[in-house]
Structure 1
Amino acid sequence: MNKRFLLSIACFLLINLSVRAGRVDTIQVESKAMHKAIKCVVITPDRYSTAASERFPVVYLLHGYSGNHSDWIRKAPELTSYADRYGVIIACPDGQNSWYLDSPVNPAKRFETFVTGELLPYMDANYRTQADRQHRAITGLSMGGHGALYLAVRHRDLFGQAGSLSGGVDLRPFPNNWDLKNLLGEEATNQSNWDTHSVINVIDSLQNGDLRLMVECGTADFFYEVNRNLHQKLLQRAIAHDYIERPGAHTWDYWRGNIEYQLLFFRKGFPEEK
């Protein structure tokens, strides 16, 4: 076959793929609660720029401890294609090792307030979102998995779906890890803080049907046991959820390989346009 013809085909495919890739913006959202600007990556699907009247569901995608707002797009660049495939806006805020909490001991860490009270209104005011709970989902990895479930359960008026990848869904077994004592105080003298900020206890307020839930964890992950405990508690309380465990560790190979399943889960849960 003619080499020039093959080159033309290759160029066409590259151009076509690039046209169908979503757009990536890095924005700064002012936090009055913390008196500073917080960075956020926003991925819009390709048709966001071509269908001027269309509004889109939003998936809030949270990073893990020691990461930042750019982690997901740097480590999983195919998110731009997923935004196109599933017709969603993806927003990745910087969590600054906060575990996405309003810290009861450090007033400078107010990331629950930031995400729910500042970032969501900013996104709805500045992007063509479908601004209701039925069209919002939240998920994340590790610290972000905890944050996603924690925020969704506590703010069911804002989110209709939530997920977690390798989430730290019970903080209490890890009293000396990941700056948690700087957020919650020493565990021995602040037990109630650790109890009330752990997802496995926060779900006590959850009723079946309040949220569509998807929880995943690798079987070689150090959070595997706490995720299985969460799954068992949800079963005991008859709360419907999808739970997946498969071979894998606390690695980007696992998260990158599984995030699309969560986006597909959310897409199926968003109401269809009438």
Structure 2
Amino acid sequence: MRRVVCLVACLSLFAGPSLFAEPPSVPTKSKPASVTDSKQTPKKAKKKPAPFAWVNPIPNKRLHPSLQHGTFQSPSLKQDVGYAILLPPGYSEGESSKRYPVVYYLHGSRPGSEAKSLALVPLLHSAMESKQVPGMIYVFVNGGPVSHYNIPGEPTKQGADVFIDELIPHIDSTYQTIADREHRGIEGFSQGGRGTMRLSLRYPDLFCSAAAGGGGYETERKISESGGRESEKLVFAEGDNTWDLARAFSKTKTPQVDWMIYVGTKGFNYQNNLAYMKFLTSLGIPFERIVVPEVPHSGLKIYEQRCVEIMRFHAANFR
């Protein structure tokens, strides 16, 4: 049953924290503690991430008149799953004569939520409202406990399947979408960039357009080379990674997906994005690229410079 709550306007931008902190520096020689040193305030402990939840209402600072929060009853989880949806300017609920293509946006972090990437909303809406790009629906996905992955043998940790098998049909049956692959795109940043590339390679019959931002392809390579093992406690299905899936896709190259990879030169995944681009080229898999100088690992900061270009990439791919 559809339960959608329309939300009130409030624009705000946010740049999420880096996923990796630099190691503390080690002094070359010790010095006696001064009176000032001895009274220094201890550093605050890092804030722990919020516990994972399948439903996460939109924070007040992210409210926008065209942004809604919705839920659907997941058949596999037997509970509600949340999503956020940005409707284009001029969207009129119930006006079935006008339909729109859809871009599914996969959040970063692990775990994340459907509220994680909503700082992009004002930029997306502004580009459509100013008619720099045509109207599109953007759906912000909840990627599950292990963002956008399935964990073998753990029924409550099937984030990829909940998205592919349940959320997409719900969106197509609830909103005025053009419900075919020629009008369906996927995008994400960081963990969402990994998920975008992996899921578009696995399901090329579902997506015609895929823009993967700042993905951790070195980690994906490690998973490939270790039979699915990312760490001692985290093991994925063998072959469920961007390297093995690209090799498998290169044997047929159909149906063709239009891919883009984007990354900032100051991001900690910059070099491994370059390595993955070289790998795709070696397989004969074409893609577009955007490399943004002097930008760190931040989807928002990349969007502040290249939002319209990325949106136009999807728009051009919708047939």
Q: C-alpha offsets along residues 74-131 of structure 1, whole Å, 9 cap, x if unaligned?
A: 3542222234432111000122452311112533111111111001100110011111
Aligned to 2:290: 244
Q: TM-score, normalised by structure 1?
A: 0.79
Counterpart residue number, 2:107 = 63
| Structure 1 pair 22–231 and aligned structure 2 pair: CA distance change class (3 A) | farther
User: Residue 93 of structure 1 aligns with which residue?
Assistant: 141
- Aligned to 2:279, the other structure's residue is in SS state helix
1:132 aligns with 2:180: yes
Q: Which amino acid aligns with 1:69?
A: E
Once residues 285 and 239 of structure 2 are traced to their aligned partners in structure 1, the CA distance between those partners, rounded to angstroms, is 20
| 8 Å CA contact retained: 1:57, 1:135 | yes
Q: 1:221 aligns with which of 255, 262, 267?
A: 267
Q: 1:54 is paired with a residue of what secondary structure?
A: coil
Matching of residues 53-202 of structure 1 within 5 Å: 53-65=97-109, 66-84=111-129, 85-104=133-152, 106-172=154-220, 187=231, 193=236, 196-202=239-245
Q: CA deviation at 1:260?
A: 3.1
Distance of 2:258 and 2:102 partners within structure 1? 15
Structure 1 gaps of 5+ residues are 1-20, 176-183
Aligned letter for 2:315? R
How far does residue 73 in structure 1 lie from its aligned partner after superposition? Answer: 2.4
Which deviations, in whole Å up to 9, do the C-alpha atoms of 1:160-204 show, x marking residues without a partner? Answer: 1111111123425778xxxxxxxx66646987x476232122211
CA distance in 1, matches of 2:183, 2:78: 29
Supply the AA of the counterpart residue of 2:247.
Answer: D
TM-score by length of structure 2 reads 0.68
Rg larger in structure: 2
Q: Deviations over 1:21-51 (max 9, x none)?
A: 9721100122222232221111111222186
2-side partners of 1:186 and 1:167: how far apart?
Answer: 15
Quote the Cα distance in structure 1 between the aligned partners of 2:305 and 2:164. 28
SS in 2 for 1:213: strand
Contact 2:88-2:125 within 8 A present in 1 as well: yes
**Identity fraction in percent:** 26
Give deviations 1:203-254, integer Å, cap 9, x for gaps. Answer: 1122446210000111121111221121001111121110222221112323
- Structure 1 or 2: more helix by fraction: 1
Q: Is the 8 A contact 1:172 1:195 kept in 2?
A: no
User: What is the Cα-based RMSD across aligned positions, in Å?
Assistant: 2.6
- CA contact 2:83–2:114 (8 Å) conserved in 1: yes
Between 156-165 and 64-73, the greater mean CA deviation after superposition: 64-73
Distance in 1 between the 2:203 and 2:249 partners?
11
In structure 2, distance between residues paired with 1:233 and 1:174? 15
**Whole-Å Cα distance in 2 between the matches of residues 75 and 125 of structure 1?**
25
Matched, 1:42 2:88: no
Counterpart residue type for residue 107 of structure 1: P
User: In structure 2, what residue type is equivalent to 1:216?
Assistant: Y
Deviation at 1:147, TM superposition (A): 0.9
